[in-house]
Amino acid sequence: MRYCASLLLLLTIISCSKKNTMRTNFAELTIGGNKFVFDSLQAIFDTSTQEINCNFLVFDRASNSHMDWETSSGSKWINGVYEYPGQPFPARSVVYLGLQTYIDRVPGSYTLAGNSLTLTIDQSDNGRMHGTFSGKVICYTCIPYGTVVDITRGEFEMPYSYR
């Protein structure tokens, strides 16, 4: 009996400690009730212009799904709220978002088109950033054409670099 109690205590400690572990290198979102997890991540800040744009590219090799988006900040400070439709330069804004997915072997192509999207970068340090995003996109390959779909539980933690 003593061994069972010790084993249960050890399993409880291990399971509780895993919940507090910070996740790294992921990007995921739920769109139209389908969850996508991306395994290849890249973010590059272009500091050669006054606007300071960041190009994000994420892939899921298993489903051949990919998403790319661009932000413009007008500042070297990464953290903040980026919105679409955004405000004119120098305010933070999401410039573009494109998503190509495959659900049950049917391709879906999504983009921003007058809909709201909010992206928040809440942590950035030592070449790594964390953020969340949510909003609405238009599916231009869905039936009916132009179906508005919700993006929920969008989150990423990934490396970034400067160009």
* Helix, strand or coil, per DSSP, at residue 6: helix
- Its pTM stands at 0.79
Per DSSP, the chain holds a count of helices (H) and strands (E) of 1, 12
146 and 134 Cβ atoms separated by less than 8 Å: no
The domain ranges of the chain are 23-162
List, for residues 3-49, the tens digit of each pLDDT value. Answer: 554 444 444 444 454 455 666 789 999 988 888 999 899 999 988 88
Give every CB contact of residue 102 below 8 A, 6+ residues apart in sequence: 63, 64, 65, 108
Percent of the chain with pLDDT over 70: 85
Mean per-residue pLDDT over the chain, rounded: 84
Region 106-116: what's the mean pLDDT?
86
pLDDT the model gives residue 43: 94
Place of tokens 């919700």: 150
Task: Residue 108: name the closest of 139, 146, 145 by CA.
Answer: 139
Place of tokens 């290849």: 40
List, for residues 67-100, the tens digit of each pLDDT value. Answer: 999 999 878 788 999 999 887 777 899 999 999 9
* Helix, strand or coil, per DSSP, at residue 5: helix
Residue 122 pLDDT level (bands cut at 50, 70, 90):
very high
